Structures are given as C-alpha cells and as structure tokens.
Amino acid sequence: MRDRTRYLYLAVIGAVLLGILVGFVWPDAGQALKPLGTGFVNLIKMMISPIIFCTIVLGIGSVTKAAKVGKVGGLTIGYFLVMSTVALIIGLLVGNLIDPGSGLHLTDAAKKVAEGEAAKGGATDSVDFVLGIIPTTVVSAFTEGQTLQTLLVALLTGFGLQAIGPKAAPILTAIEHIQRLVFRILAMIMWAAPVGAFGAIAAVVGATGLDALRSLAIIMIAFYTTCVLFIGLILGPLLWGVAKIGLWPLFRYLGREFLLILSTSSSEAALPRLIAKMEHLGVSRTVAGITVPTGYSFNLDGTAIYLTMSTLFIASASGSPLRFGEQLALLGFMMIASKGAAGVTGSGIATLAGGLQSHRPELVDGVGLIVGIDRFMSEARALTNFAGNAIGTVLVATWTGEFDRARAAEVLAGNVPFDEATLLDEDVRPEPPAADEQREMTAV
C-alpha cells in the first residue's frame, strides 16, 4: 500500500513557502495567522504526557531487573550533561572568535522588551526546578503538561507494576492498548501540520520582516554554522564510532521530524514520533522510553550554544565584554536554570535574560537586540537538541546492549518502512536481552 503521508509532508513544505510569501507581502495578515501555528503545537503537546506515560510504563514493566532501568537512566543523564558541556565550550570559542555584537546599539524599545523577558527568566531557580518535578497530584502531572512530572509518575508506576510481578500482566496489556489508541490519535492530528506550519511561518515573517534579519545576520549565520559544526564534527563521528551508523542515513530516516520542527520551531512537536521511530529503528522500548523524554529536559546542546553566543553578543554590543571567568560562571548558571525547558518555544530568551539579571544586570537591556530573530534561532536550537536527542538514544542503547544493529541496517536501507498510520509496529519485537542476561543464557 502506498504511503499517503508523503503528500502530507509535501503540503507542509508548500505551506511554509506560502507562509513566507504572506508574511512578506501582507505582514499584518501574517501576524494575525499566529493562532494557527500555536493551535497545532498545542494539539501535539496534548498528546505528549499520555505517550510518555504509556511508553515508560510498558518499558519498565516488561523488564525483570530494576537495575537495568537505573543503569539506562544514569548513563543517559551523564551523557547529556557531558555533551551540553562540550556544546558550551564550542559556543564560547566561536563567540569569542567572531565578536558578533560589535557595532550595534540599543534602542528604548529593545530595553523595554528585555525587561519583560528578564522577569520571566528570573522566576525559576535550581531549587524550584527540582521541586517542580514532583506533581501536586498524580493526575496533575498529565493535566499540567509537565514532562518531568509525567516522567516521575511513569517511573513510579512502572516500578510498581514490576514489583507486582505476573499479576500486573492485565494492566500492562490495557496500557499497551491505550498506547495504540494514543498514537493513532497523534497520526490523525498530523494531518493538520500544513495549516499549523503556514500560520507559524507567516506570523514570524510578518513580525520581523527583512530589516531585522539583515541587521543581525552575522549572529544568526554564526549560530547556525556552530550548530552544524557541533553535529557534524562531534556527534557524527561519535555515532559512527559507537554504533557504526552514518549521520546522513539517520537524519534521512528522521527527515519528516526535522521538517516538522523547522515549520513549528518546537522540538516538542516531534517528541512522540521520535519515541516511535527509535523503537522501530531497533532501540529497545526501555531505552527509548527513558532516554527520549529525559533528553527533552537534559539535552541542551542547541540551548547551550545559543546561551553562550547570545551572551557574548550582548556583552559586546553593550560595550561591556565579559572576562573568560565571568563567561563560565554566568553560562554555568544558565545551563542549570534552563533544564526542563529545552523543547519550549521562547524559553531560551527568558533563560538568557534571567541569567543576565542575576549576574550582570547592566547587560539585561541587550536581550532586546535579539528578540526579533529569536524565533529563527529557536529553530536551530530545537533542531540541534532533537538531533542530539536522537543520536544520544542510539548511543545509550548501544552502550547498554539494547540496540538491534541488524534491524537498524534494514530500516535505514528502506527495507522495513515505518508505519505512518499507527506509528507502531504491528508485530511487537521481543526486547534484546542485556549483556549480563546473554552471559547467563550462554552459561546455562
């Protein structure tokens, strides 16, 4: 049967081009279309909590050893923290090298915008972040749409079912049916993608126009180039060295997800599909269910690069360049404060303003300089975070012995197509045993 969804993503490309045209020719009309993009992203976000819950509960509930889950979670967080630090260092090197903020000046309007963003960014500190992981009630984790809260409830539920033992089988079966329903609803929602992409692109182009893009082209080009270099020179060789998978075949497999992020400027829009595609690729349900949601809170590759380069840009434009020690202290704070907001559109600029307010208040006004292009930089942040998340999931699965490399080769070669109608494999594949379990079976 032909894959009808190919027409859907051709329609998304056409909608993006049409949105750009409308935004340039009729900017007021373009801005008025913003609710279309917002509505589509909200529809996707509506499905994230139930998908994370079902995936993690089924992943943990089907594992016989709790230590296996702890190993995956610890390795995942450790890997993402290391990669975020590498991204931060690269951003610092490029930012100090090109000095993109020289020659720009603040306006009164930019100062007013910056004050508002500083108020948003300063509302959350590290303690609030940790306490915010705990939901008010079990149900509120779903109704408030908090990824980390849903993750916590799902982990507790999965371990609880694991402790019950064989008697939990009916519950796991019921959750598996619910997961199938949720993915089917998501597939239906995806048919609204062209409308959402059209509204989102028309709105941002109508609001910024050509002048804002011209005046700040240097920082945008430098930021995109740095993200590409980080993915190509750091993540690509790491993926090949560990999993023997090429960067381009993996990205071609995830092409529709990248297009979805590019058109909506939100990596959250592709989160449910990434979980499904990682399982289809050959990553075990346990690793996919834990690593992907965790990455959306701790995988800050794109955000780290954005914060470093934007901080140096503002400091240079304000005539108050930061010493290297000040750069490290300020950006370390920002990385901690930004956890949990990696997939939220606009969160980066609020974190940037809040960090400057806390450490160098005299630089806060400079945030207004990049507000006009933050949406375009947000796309690069989201794309880089998503790429790092996908690669990280494959790496963690390989390190823990939870990756079917033969299956991945077939999928990437196009021999085992992904089911766009259900987002699930009809024939559930058994999970590959962990390395220690393989040794035990061999010994027997």
Rounded CA-CA distance 215/109 in Å is 16
Contact 352, 121 (CB under 8 A): yes
Per-residue model confidence (pLDDT) at position 287? 87
Of 20-29, 158-167, 331-340, the poorest mean pLDDT is in 331-340
Distance (Å) of CA 109 to CA 113, 325, 349, 428:
6, 31, 16, 57
183-210: average pLDDT: 76
pTM for this entry: 0.66
Output the 3-class SS for 231-244.
HHHHHHHHHHHHHC
Q: Rounded to an integer, what is the distance from CA 243 to the centroid of its chain?
A: 21
Contacts of 247 (CB under 8 A, 6+ apart): 231, 232, 235, 236, 239, 240, 391
pLDDT at 411 > cutoff 80: yes
Rounded CA-CA distance 95/328 in Å is 13
375-384: average pLDDT: 78
SS3 state of residue 16: helix
Contact 383, 227 (CB under 8 A): yes
Q: Which helix (H) or strand (E) holds 74?
A: helix 66-98
| Confidence band for 238, pLDDT divided at 50, 70 and 90 | very high
Structure tokens at 98: 């090109």
How many Cβ atoms are within 10 Å of 109's Cβ, its own excluded?
A: 10
Structure tokens at 262: 């590019």
Structure tokens at 92: 């610092």
Per the prediction, the chain carries an average pLDDT of: 74
Per-residue model confidence (pLDDT) at position 343? 44
CATH number at residue 293: 1.10.3860.10
Contact 276, 267 (CB under 8 A): no
363-374: average pLDDT: 64
Closest alpha carbon to 300 in 129, 59, 144: 129
The tally of CA atoms less than 13 A away on the side-chain side of residue 411 is 23
Structure tokens at 67: 């230590």
- More confident: 97 or 409: 409
Per-residue model confidence (pLDDT) at position 240? 94
Give alpha helix (H) positions in 299-373: 301-317, 324-337, 347-359
Rounded CA-CA distance 95/227 in Å is 12
**Range 157-161 contact pairs with CB under 8 angstroms and sequence separation of 24 or more:** 157/53, 157/57, 158/56, 158/57, 158/58, 158/59, 158/60, 158/61, 158/69, 159/60, 159/66, 159/69, 161/57, 161/60, 161/61
Rounded CA-CA distance 112/222 in Å is 26
**What letter would DSSP give residue 433?**
P
Rounded CA-CA distance 400/291 in Å is 12
Exposed/middle/buried for 362, CB within 10 Å: 0-12, 13-18, 19+? exposed
For 110-153, write each residue's pLDDT tens digit: 445 544 544 544 445 556 657 777 887 878 777 776 667 777 88
SS3 state of residue 403: strand
Rounded CA-CA distance 290/275 in Å is 9
Per-residue model confidence (pLDDT) at position 347? 55
Count of domains for the chain: 1
The whole domain housing 208 covers 5-443
The tally of CA atoms less than 13 A away on the side-chain side of residue 14 is 8
Exposed/middle/buried for 325, CB within 10 Å: 0-12, 13-18, 19+? exposed
Direct distance between the N- and C-terminal alpha carbons of the chain, in angstroms, rounded to an integer: 45
Rounded CA-CA distance 369/366 in Å is 5
